[in-house]
Structure 1
Amino acid sequence: MRGAGAWAPLCLLLAAAAQPSRQQPPERPVFTCGGILTGESGFIGSEGFPGVYPPNSKCTWKITVPEGKVVVLNFRFIDLESDNLCRYDFVDVYNGHANGQRIGRFCGTFRPGALVSSGNKMMVQMISDANTAGNGFMATFSAAEPNERGDQYCGGLLERPSGSFTTPNWPDRDYPAGVTCVWHIVAPKNQLIELMFEKFDVERDNYCRYDYVAVFNGGEADDAKRIGKYCGDSPPAPIVSERNELLIQFLSDLSLTADGFIAHYTFRPKKLPTTLAPPVTTTVPVTTDLKPTVALCQQKCRRTGTLESNYCSSNFVLAGTVITTITRGGSLHATVSIINIYKEGNLAIQQAGKNMSAKVIVVCKQCPLLRRGLNYIIMGQVGEDGQGKIMPNSFIMMFKTKNQKLLNALENKQC
């Protein structure tokens, strides 16, 4: 049951959306499932907002602003079923009207900052499953000049052979709170992209949970293709794309801010040798053939060593709750909601609001045994796809609060 106080902001939003004339009393706007919207500005909202949105629905809004402008979308209110991976009820925002790059996926009550298309078209799609919870969303859209910079928005499509981009307000003052920026760099098919951060200052956090810059190979925010996630005041090492596209995502939450960054990129031919700076945590080579074999999975499942002795030989070390398990062949695929991460390596970490999770594969499904709903300390290696690989000899144990002190000490250990 939601308190009466929660409805006060909704009343103000609905009054603004109605925009009544002086001669007419205010009318509550009616939000339907999807629609075609054109013009300089407007409102969109989930079907029946502010009432509970219907189950099993798929609604699509196609927004078009005047030619030569870009679309700026601001969520004024969002309240969808919460899930750390946004798997059930969610809102997707895309560049263009068809086959466009996804700018972001949102659920729960986390309200993102302004979202900007690279052209004059944007698509918003909301999907709900059989079980719903919440009042949906309401957002405003407006047209803006593509070369504007300021508090309202940032990001865009970059196709020139070289260029620079910055956080909003750079270098005059700190970047604003509640901002989401996505830069999509596209080079010709036969070229790569080299990216360098000249100056960098983003709110520091050990796991970059609050404000961060994430860089992805390709044109989507796909965690399997994430090159790195960065915060703090040390510029990331120069980055070279695998192919001809890079996606750079900057997000600030609603609290502390900092100076921000300025970055430069340039295109270069594929034939030149590419040298990437080594990751902070050394990755131990992982066997690419991880199909479970009879001999491997018939071994006795026996944990060897201790937390201390296994720490340095593991690519990643985390404490987390197993939230999903799926058996595929002889392996177990699990999603782990992270309680704390002590050693990240190249593990792909997904984030929805403040919730973080990672995917791990137990190569022999019964060894070691992971049960849904239980808390574990998990140590393992990382495959090329960014997923954790748990072998029969990997160190796994139940996580208890008494382990916290030892794990914190290991986090500062030099391997």
Structure 2
Amino acid sequence: MKKSLIAASLLAAISSNAFAAEDSSDKYWVGGFTEIYKPDEEKSFDFTSFDAGLGLGAEVGVRESEHWGGRFEIAKVSLENDADLVDDSATRFGIDAMYFLEDDLMYIFGGLKHIDMVDSGSMANLGLGKHWDLSEKVKLVTEIAAYHDFGEAYNDVSAKLGLAYTFGSTAPKAPGDADQDGVNDNLDQCPDTAIGARVDSTGCSIDTDADGVLNDIDQCPNTPAGTPVGAKGCSLALDSDQDGVLDNVDQCANTPLTDKVDSTGCSIFEEVEVRETLEVLFANNSSVIQNPDSAKFQEFADFMKRFPNTQTAIEGHASAPGKADYNMMISLKRAKAVRTLLIEKYGIAADRLSAEGFGETQLLDTSNTAAAHKVNRRIEAVVTAIKKEKVLR
């Protein structure tokens, strides 16, 4: 009885000290088990040796956090022996500290045990186990353990199978912070906040200037209180094109909302090469343009005006039928006609345009068909500089 009280006191000490830092309610279990217990082959008392035997036992445990728990255990094992002993049983009792792995994959336990087996002794034990869910409250218990006798250096082993009934509640798993905004997931009302964004106590982005647009998309974060703003948080009165640059410093006042802009409010461009084929219609053996009002001409003229540092070569090409020198001449006349049209009708500076004829020297389709001849008769505008393409928001 005294030994049982000592063991119970040790279990209480482990619980109160090892788990003192956890602020949680307890979860308890009680269980019964059967086991196979095998003493060390060298273990003998008064020339009596023992072999493996079956035992029955009971345990009571407490799990005070996600990972830590402890228990008291008592078991009685009937052992085979080579002598005619009146009492061939062994009684074992003691305590274990238990560490449960992530997601209750298994638990590791270790503790101190006292055993009465002809003679009495103390042992340390170490083992692995798992609580398998049979229902919400009932668990199947499986364990293996090794025991080391402090007195004679004997090593016993055992395997356990049992049932446990759980009750009470344990501390919930500590909530994580998936978006790393400093607010735990169980409190975070905006779980996908951009990393690095300033948030309030609910985990949502802060609207510092109280204009109704959160900081992570507000391009004008210091808008005066009460100022009407657009979707980007900029004053409708002070930033007409809503690009985040106020009108008093905006050098490109009508920037499209899709464009990313620099500090002057102008679209940011990246460099790409440009080659444009103009759709120009000519009558047979003629250099007179039949579609001078084509939208394609206006689009190209707008491009040239937007990028004033570019130079363009207007290249004329002919189809294969006919004499080569005639084809060279007519292709040059057609290129010059397009150049003149762009200068006189669409306002492109003459020094930015040149004209050249290539005749039939650069055919796109060498087959002798009407479709091939149509493809080969073409005007190409080759921009000799670099176009800067807009970067979108």
Indicate the TM-score class for this superposition, using the shorter chain for normalisation.
under 0.3
More helix by share: 2
TM score, norm. by length of structure 2:
0.18
Structure ranking higher on relative contact order (CA contacts 8 Å, 6+ apart): 1
Q: Which of the pair has more CA radius of gyration?
A: 2
TM-score (norm. length: structure 1): 0.17
Structure showing the higher strand proportion among its residues = 1
